[in-house]
Amino acid sequence: MRELTKEALNQFEKHYGYSAELLIQAPGRVNLIGEHTDYNDGFVLPCAIDYSTIVASKKRSDYLVNIIAIDFNSKDHFQLDQPIVKSEHGWANYVRGVFKYVQETHPNFTGVDLIIHGNVPLGAGLSSSAALEVSIATTIKTLYNLSIDPKELAKICQKAENKFVGMNCGIMDQFISTLGEQNHALLVDCRSLETKSISMPKNLSVVIINSNVKHGLVDSEYNLRRQQCEEAASILNVSKLRDATIELLEKHKDEMSDVVYRRARHIITENARTINAAKALTNNDIVTMSELMQAGHLSMKDDFEITVPAVDCLVDIVKAEIGNKGGVRMTGGGFGGCVVALVPNEMVEQVRKAVENQYHTQTGLKESFYLCHAMNGAGKIS
Ligand code: GAF
């Protein structure tokens, strides 16, 4: 983090010729359980991680926004007193979208110079996009002292991604990047947006292993899953699958395709698993947590069909080492990306070695291994 910060400040001086007045960070996230439940108004259990996007900034008074994205080796600029339209640079649309929707409700700001730098792995399912959106929104809010509460800020960022970028995501990623708590996961009710802080067991480490299978087909498959969930909800005559039960689903099984039935079964069972996982972690009941994570992974593999063989392989390797002393499952939207494992502290090296020895041989791929900690959400770096 210190290195990232130093580099962001240096680059700011180099490009703009004066010093930044503010440094903001927004973290990526890992979801412990509750996958694809957010847009079904259900429950999720993520924590923010110590990989983040950093933004160095300074106010301007001429309605110009200058952006330099170090990691993309790319620049963008636009005027706030003219309509904000799409850029040809993919990354820039996350930034432009946030400016557009902050401006919609809080129009009183007059420009900014920005440097963006970060270390959230891209396309790995650890929410680099949400970290970017939240870092920008928090920068505008802090620089101009705008009164935007954290939940509203997360919703503005989600709107930018849904309506400006065109990715129909739920609220989880922006929410945890904004509201994360050090040493805690957050059980989020994605309907009411109420949260419960769940203390992370001290004897377990949060290990994330990137399969380095880049997300493929994410947008199209993600949107298809959403449609299938909506179709199931409509057949079950509920507003969202959050309101359905397994009994109701079984009663209407013959009215839907097998695929739609299995999609709904994943969401209904995943919501229950997520609530139970929060209880298990609270009680330091690792065996139950382990079983819930395993069941969650199988449900994503067989019912929701969002895992890929390399990710399943990583889960198997880790599971063989930790048994029910910890838990492991795919994390994030799916179709590549990472697994998350809760590993007894004293077994982390053993797990690292097992993955190192077996993953490449079995898949031809090389993993990346991140030992993480649950962190606070976005804020000022002093
Ligand atoms: C992606 C989305 F952005 C989230 O809203 C969530 O649906 C997740 O996939 C799956 O749980 O990260």
Amino acid 123: pLDDT: 83
pLDDT of residue 362: 97
pLDDT tens for 5-39 read 999 999 999 999 999 999 999 999 999 999 999 99
Among 38, 155, 158, 215, which residue has the most ligand 1 atoms within 8 Å of its CB, making it the best to mutate?
A: 38
Whole-angstrom distance, CA of residue 337 vs CA of residue 356:
17
Contact status, residue 132 vs residue 99, Cβ threshold 8 Å: no
In the block, residue with structure tokens 């557009």: 100
pLDDT, mean of residues 199-204: 96
Task: Summarize pLDDT for 333-374 with one digit per residue, the tens.
Answer: 999 999 999 999 999 999 999 999 999 999 999 999 999 999
- pLDDT of 159 reads 98
Q: Half-sphere exposure of residue 205, counting CA atoms within 13 Å on the CB side? A: 18
Q: What confidence tens digit (pLDDT) does each residue in 39-58 have?
A: 999 999 999 999 999 999 99
How far apart, in whole angstroms, are the C-alpha atoms of residue 239 and residue 345?
43
pLDDT of residue 1: 76
Q: How far is the CA of 298 from the centre of ligand 1 (A)?
A: 18
Is 60 exceeded by the pLDDT of residue 87?
yes
Q: What is the pLDDT of residues 238-265, one digit of tens each?
A: 999 999 999 999 999 999 999 999 999 9
Q: How crowded is residue 3: how many other Cβ atoms within 10 Å of its Cβ?
A: 9
Question: Is-catalytic flag, 173?
Answer: yes
Overall pTM > 0.80: yes
Ligand 1 first shell, C-beta below 6 A: 31, 35-36, 38-39, 169-170, 172-173, 332-333
- pLDDT at position 216 is 60
69 DSSP β-pair partners = 74, 116
Say if residue 331 carries a ligand binding annotation: no
Using the atom order of ligand 1, give the atom closest to the CA of residue 125: 12
Element (H, E) at 13: helix 2-16
Picking from 55, 57, 61, the residue whose alpha carbon sits closest to that of residue 94 is 55
pLDDT tens digits for range 170-183: 999 999 999 999 99
Question: Which residues, in sequence order, are CB contacts of 170 under 8 Å at separation 6+?
Answer: 36, 38, 39, 158, 190
User: How many Å lie between the centroid of ligand 1 and the Cα of residue 276?
Assistant: 20
Which residue puts its alpha carbon closest to atom 3 of ligand 1?
169
Instruction: Kindly give the distance from the C-alpha atom of residue 327 to the centroid of ligand 1, in angstroms, as a whole number.
Output: 20
**Model pLDDT for residues 306-329, shown as the tens digit of each residue:** 999 999 999 999 999 999 999 999
What residues contact residue 126 under an 8 Å CB cut-off, 6+ apart? 28, 29, 30, 49, 51, 120, 208, 331, 332, 337, 338
Which residues does 143 contact at the CB level (< 8 Å), separation at least 6? 21, 22, 57, 59, 109, 112
Rounded Cα distance, 75 and 29, in Å: 26
Ligand 1 atom closest to residue 37's alpha carbon, by position in its atom list: 11
Task: Calculate what percentage of the chain has a pLDDT beyond 70.
Answer: 99
The reply, when asked if residue 105 is annotated as ligand binding, is no
Ligand 1 atom 2 nearest Cα: 169
User: Is 70 exceeded by the pLDDT of residue 217?
Assistant: no
- What confidence tens digit (pLDDT) does each residue in 96-139 have? 999 999 999 999 899 999 999 999 998 888 999 999 999 999 99
Q: Once rounded to an integer, what is the mean pLDDT over residues 48-76? A: 97
Ligand 1 pocket: which of 39, 172, 297 to mutate (most atoms within 8 A of CB): 172
Between residues 297 and 220, which one has the greater pLDDT?
297
Question: Tell me, what's the pLDDT at 218?
Answer: 67
Burial class from Cβ neighbours inside 10 Å (0-12, 13-18, 19+) for residue 42 reads buried
Q: How far is CA 380 from CA 46, 136, 141, 257, in A?
A: 22, 12, 11, 50
Looking at 41, 50, 113, 173, which residue is catalytic?
173
What is the token pair recorded at 268? 């209904």
Average pLDDT along the chain:
96
CB 31 within 8 A of CB 331: yes
- Interval 273-286 mean pLDDT: 97
35 is in an annotated binding site: yes
Q: Cβ distance 262 to 241 under 8 Å?
A: no
Q: How far apart are CA 296 and CA 188, in angstroms?
A: 17
Local confidence band at 214 (pLDDT 50, 70, 90 cut-offs): confident
Quick check: 285 and 274 in contact, CB under 8 A?
no
**Residue 354 contacts residue 326 (beta carbons within 8 Å):** no
Alpha carbon distance 259, 304 (integer Å): 8
150 contacts 175 by C-beta, under 8 angstroms: no
Atom of ligand 1 nearest to the CA of 38: 7
Domains and CATH numbers, the chain: 2-197+376-380 (3.30.230.10)
Tell me how far apart the alpha carbons of residues 260 and 193 are, in angstroms, rounded to a whole number: 27
Enter the DSSP assignment of 338: E
Flag whether 41 is marked binding. Answer: no
Residue 126 annotated as binding site: yes
